[in-house]
Structure 1
């Protein structure tokens, strides 16, 4: 257990709008399973155990396969993901690791072709949002029950 502070308790005026953004994204056009793949993959890259556990549980409730969840750590080598998922996972990696190369034109254009402007915008916001949650959870050493 950690004795670090709770952002939710100390800064509800900042935390509550984040929850509102999360609720909005939950109603977006991103398929629920794909939304969870984004969250688990970004959380893996950010070493956020709290969010990995939370979003793996949520994905399993959506009948996502355990094999695909385990394969997320090596998705580029796995045949378990379709073209749409692979494009979004690449986007997730590039946005999460933005300081490496940014988002390449190849990834951006592929996602735009596959997803369209609306869903691409929503996917970018989903990646940005889970990265923010990861940083809160890691910085405060949140633990999942």
Structure 2
């Protein structure tokens, strides 16, 4: 079925505005916690892109790759993110965050492995780990919302800085 043949889906912001605002507040709180913990915004975008790749969320991939580019991320790293383990392009911190993100995203497959958590704990403090777990949880929720409601990618543009 092509997108043009798809049935119309519910507009969550319109039908459940209080819940949508609460989700926005959760996102804002997670971003604030990351800033307080000194987790780089660029790293958060990598987390969001990687989770969105794993979940197959076209809307969130469109949004967060654009946000990453606007924040100075390179095309090379964005293109290679799906195979981050096979490239030399990512730092030790980024690799630990990406492994943790994957573990949180795939939690149904066997929880977050001790090895992934231990690697994160080696390079991040507790506040930073908490911020990364929140970032992964929030983007996973947004992925599910966008996929369930078939949000159409393409129109999003990053805010001008």
Shared fold (TM-score greater than 0.5)? yes
- Within a 5 Å distance, the mapping from 1:70-109 to structure 2 comes to 70-109=79-118
Q: Which has the larger radius of gyration?
A: 2
Structure-2 separation of matches of 1:96 and 1:58: 21
Q: 1:69 — aligned with what?
A: 78
Gaps of 5+ in 2: 156-161
Q: TM-score, normalised by structure 1?
A: 0.96
- Answer yes or no: is 1:121 the counterpart of 2:130: yes
Partner SS state of residue 99, structure 1: helix
CA RMSD in angstroms comes to: 1.1
**Structure 1: stretches of 5+ with no match in the other structure:** none
Tell me the equivalent position of 2:121.
112
CA distance in 2, matches of 1:6, 1:30: 32
Q: Which residue of structure 1 lines up, in the alignment, with residue 65 of structure 2?
A: 56
Shift of 1:95: 0.6
Deviations 1:51-93 (A, max 9, x none): 0000000000000001000111111111100100000000011
Q: For residue 9 of structure 2, give the secondary structure of its aligned residue in structure 1.
A: coil
Q: Which runs of 4+ in 1 moved over 6 A?
A: none
CA distance in 2: counterparts of 1:135 and 1:42, whole angstroms: 11
